[in-house]
Chains A and B, each alone.
Chain A
Amino acid sequence: MANDKTIWEKLQAIDRRVLYTLLMVIATVSLFFKVNVPTKPGQPTKDLYRLLVDADALPEGSTVILQSDWTQSTRGESAGQMEALLRILMRRNIKFALLSVADPQAPLVARNVIRAINLERKAKNQREYQVWEDYVNLGYFPNAEGTSNAIAANFKTAVAGRKETPPGSTTPLDVFQSPVLAKVSKVEDVPVYINVTGSKTSNILIERLGGRVPFAALVTGVMGPETLNYYQSGQVKGVAIGLNGVAEMESLMEKGLEESGKPPVQSFAGETNYGRGMAYYLALHTCLVLMIVAVVVGNVAMVAARKKK
């Protein structure tokens, strides 16, 4: 009978609904507290920050290709990554050509983030990023492997026919007429190729574009270990992994980067640096603590029950 169970046996079989309720309450409550949790950025995130902010690696005013391959399913991680990335690019006047290969929803999701960061800039009386002048949306390409091969072979031909409407005009023009892509004809012409992804597209890109252009990746926690393979081999210059990576990026944006033997990298102190990453970081902590506690309780109860027998 259920009532004959000892406390140790009961603790080994906590009802899943209890765990679900605990998780829901803890995650929700944590989101109400705005706490800047301390971070210790890892080397992959530091390298990414250096690549994006260092004027030698990415000169101000240059154009990067930004491949956005995430949707709301990975919002917890990818949205924060995209926001932090866009904040850096816009503050440094880096132009970007946006494209997606993973999901038809991805370009629209990315456009929404650009709009949100633009609103943030508008509220601070900063210059808004303009389509055509500062960025172009190349849209969705439905085949990651084929598109990556085409980009590697000939970027101009791969995205030929894509149009964007300049501000104040109703006539869409070829994206290569825009200031963003005016000087780009091959992928080697961009100083950095950036991929924000919730799937395997970073691997597909590296396998086909590796060695042609410095590559940066902002990936989900699940894709992190796989991407680190390419980081260790030097094919990816910098990686931000998951929510932890976002919080580290935001921390670096606030405090800057100083590493022994390397020139310091500027901070963006005084700007809005702590965003979605830090907003979710406390919840990540509390949820992980809950998981650790649950695992420990289960194991302690198991050992205690065995000893009693």
Chain B
Amino acid sequence: MIPWLAQAPAEPALNMWNAPAGTPEIWIKVGIAMLAGFGLLAALIAAPTRLRRPISAAFIFVAGLFWVLVFLFPKPIDSQTPHDQRPSGFVQNVSFWLADAIPVVSNFSNILTAFILGLGVFSLMRIHLMRVAKKQTDWPFSIVLLVSMVAMATFGYWDWKTRLDLGGAKVDEAWPLAAYGKDLLFDGMLQVMEAAMFSLIAFFILSAAYRAFRIRSVEATILLCAALIAMLNLMGAVVVTWDGMIESFGKDNAFLMNFTLSSVAGFIRDNLQTPGIRAIDFGIGLGALAMGLRLWLSLERVGGN
């Protein structure tokens, strides 16, 4: 029997979903899958407008139903129990099937997510090539972007291939042009620029804190005091000094120990900050559930209808 989705073992010798890497068979299967995908897309585009929405809704419902069943259906005793040792009742069979199918369905979603990357590259190329072709505003920056993207991809792939062919350790020793180029572009430029860009946040935080933290009301004063304690608690030298001073008055005095900086900050964190975040998370969770239900059942409004 041809294995189907969940029944396909992790590393099978052969089944209808895979083939040995580099063989013509795998490329034929990739080609068939791509043709089938494009065919499906073309069929969806060609479908009458009034049918498109029900088709999309059906796909969304089936995709969502799997995860709803995974969450609600009884769990199997151990999803890795060998097939010949599994209980054979309907409920057990379905629960085993669901558990086995999770990695397969997750791989589907991983592949779909990876397609977003391709879509992003395509979109970026299209927009910036158009801008260069039409010489729109700031078109030289578009050239910089396109050249950077192509150079990074080229050296990245070259380095990866070299490491695959020679082995990582040998590449680190010999340091060929591929490794040098990748290192210069990725570590020497992209990573440094990324770190520099995010470090700018510190400047904005300082400026914002200076302007916003004003004791104009009781609430603002409470907020300022809490923030001050939290900031002081981040400074190990201050914590050690303050707590040491309190402890010097009497380490066995439980009441006095409530006034150590770590205790006060801990009280604020454990009894005010964390429960507050928990409450917000509950709210977000409920909102996400409601939104998820609307998406799953295709109840969301489309195009202002």
Most chain-B Cβ atoms within 10 A of its Cβ — which of A146, A150, A168, A285?
Answer: A146
Nearest CB of A to B213, in Å:
5
Number of residues on chain B facing chain A (CB within 8 A) = 71
Whole-angstrom CA separation of A37 from B198 in the bound complex? 25
Q: Is the interface of A mostly helix, strand, loop or mixed?
A: helix
Interface membership of A174, Cβ < 8 A: yes
Whole-angstrom CA separation of A165 from B34 in the bound complex? 30
* A295 with B209: CB separation less than 8 A: yes
Residues from chain A with a CB closer than 8 A to the CB of B205 are 291
Interface membership of B248, Cβ < 8 A: no
* A40 with B243: CB separation less than 8 A: yes
Residues from chain B with a CB closer than 8 A to the CB of A23 are 202-203, 206
* B236 with A39: CB separation less than 8 A: yes
Most chain-B Cβ atoms within 10 A of its Cβ — which of A14, A74, A294?
Answer: A294
Interface membership of A55, Cβ < 8 A: no
* B240 with A40: CB separation less than 8 A: yes
Number of residues on chain A facing chain B (CB within 8 A) = 78
* B10 with A157: CB separation less than 8 A: yes
Whole-angstrom CA separation of A65 from B216 in the bound complex? 50
Residues from chain A with a CB closer than 8 A to the CB of B214 are 298-299, 302
Whole-angstrom CA separation of A157 from B102 in the bound complex? 9
Query: Given A142-B110, A142-B114, A147-B106, does the pair A299, B236 have CB atoms closer than 8 Å?
Result: no
Contact of A154 among B10, B70, B202, B215 (CB under 8 A): B10
Nearest CB of A to B156, in Å:
9
Q: Is the interface of B mostly helix, strand, loop or mixed?
A: helix
Most chain-B Cβ atoms within 10 A of its Cβ — which of A152, A153, A221?
Answer: A153
* A104 with B107: CB separation less than 8 A: no
Query: Given A143-B113, A146-B110, A229-B277, does the pair A154, B240 have CB atoms closer than 8 Å?
Result: no
Interface membership of B15, Cβ < 8 A: no
* B106 with A149: CB separation less than 8 A: yes
> Taking beta carbons and an 8 Å cutoff, which residues of A are in contact with B?
14, 16, 19-20, 23-24, 27, 37-40, 42, 71-76, 104-105, 108-109, 112, 115, 130-131, 141-143, 145-147, 149-150, 152-154, 156-158, 160-161, 165, 167-170, 172, 174, 185-186, 221, 225-226, 228-229, 232, 242, 244, 247-248, 251, 281, 284-285, 287-292, 294-295, 297-299, 302-303
Show 9 residue pairs from A and B whose CB-CB distance is below 8 angstroms, ordered by the A residue.
A146-B109, A147-B110, A150-B102, A150-B107, A158-B106, A165-B163, A221-B234, A291-B231, A298-B210
> Taking beta carbons and an 8 Å cutoff, which residues of B are in contact with A?
10-11, 70, 79-80, 99-100, 102-107, 109-110, 112-114, 116-117, 163-169, 172, 186-187, 190-192, 194-195, 197-199, 202-203, 205-207, 209-211, 213-216, 224, 228, 231-232, 234-240, 243, 262, 266, 269-270, 273-274, 277-278, 281
